[in-house]
Amino acid sequence: MKNIHIVCKRNNEDAVRIAKNIVDSFGKECNIGIDEIAAKVMHYEKTFELEHVGEDTDLIIVLGGDGTLLSASRHLKGKEVPILGVNLGGLGFLTETSVEELPSMVEKAIKGDFDISKRVMLLVTVKRGEDHVFEFSILNDAVITKDALARIIDIETYVNDEYLTTYKADGLIFSTPTGSTGYSLAAGGPLIYPSLANIMVTPICPHMLTNRPIILPEGVTARAVLSSKEEKVLLTIDGQIGFPLEYGDEVIVRKSPYTTILVKSSSRGYFEILRNKLKWGER
């Protein structure tokens, strides 16, 4: 691997410092580009806009947390470039690699000596009347949620055009297996092994306690129709981009043609990461 893009968490001094260390260590054997904001801080000439991350590139290194990686994955838009996520201090389920093991991981990656994990993405579309007014492929989740002062909202939900139920709740989460460790978990959803391709539907504080999360099989299309007229409702994808919904809007969720490829940590497996992050076994 000779071409590398580095994406840094915004306004993070540690990320910029580590990016500089990577350039100093591997800049002679690799062509390294750094995102334009971090490059400006570093006074570094080889730069790229985030919209073009992964173009003509063999590897992407993300320095930050899961949010930075989620943003990079959306901007790839189908470019199957492996992402090496480096955790700079947060919870970090996606950014598996520690700062300490980063140099050896980069060295192995340059030689092509690494394992990957392919993660399914979801294509989320908002249909308003006959028009598609919003569409993104996401790695984590899509959340329909009410305004802080709004009452419970009604969401008619269908699976492959078969009526499922009308959720009366604070909201509804559509999650990938990768996103099962995020908002869905906090709302009572189960953990799903990340290499699977299911869609998980989790109600947020449902009015009926019998409304429980449901795991849908690969290949189905889920559809949620907003049935509340007077409440302010927002669709949020990956916790980063919001879109206001109107009465009658349909949120359509299906498997995306895109995938995200993550470089696995060489020192820790998924279950070890899960135990550590969720502090299982601690008293």
Contact criterion met (CB below 8 Å) for 232 and 146: yes
How far apart, in whole angstroms, are the C-alpha atoms of residue 187 and residue 143? 11
Active-site choice (14, 35, 66, 249)? 66
Q: Distance from first CA to last CA of the chain, Å, rounded?
A: 44
How far apart, in whole angstroms, are the C-alpha atoms of residue 60 and residue 125? 27
One-letter amino acid for residue 164 of the chain: L
SS3 of 93, please? coil
The question of whether 154 is a catalytic residue gets the answer no
SS3 of 23, please? helix
How far apart, in whole angstroms, are the C-alpha atoms of residue 43 and residue 38? 9
φ/ψ (deg, to 5) at 235 = -100, 125
Instruction: Please identify every residue annotated as catalytic.
Output: 66
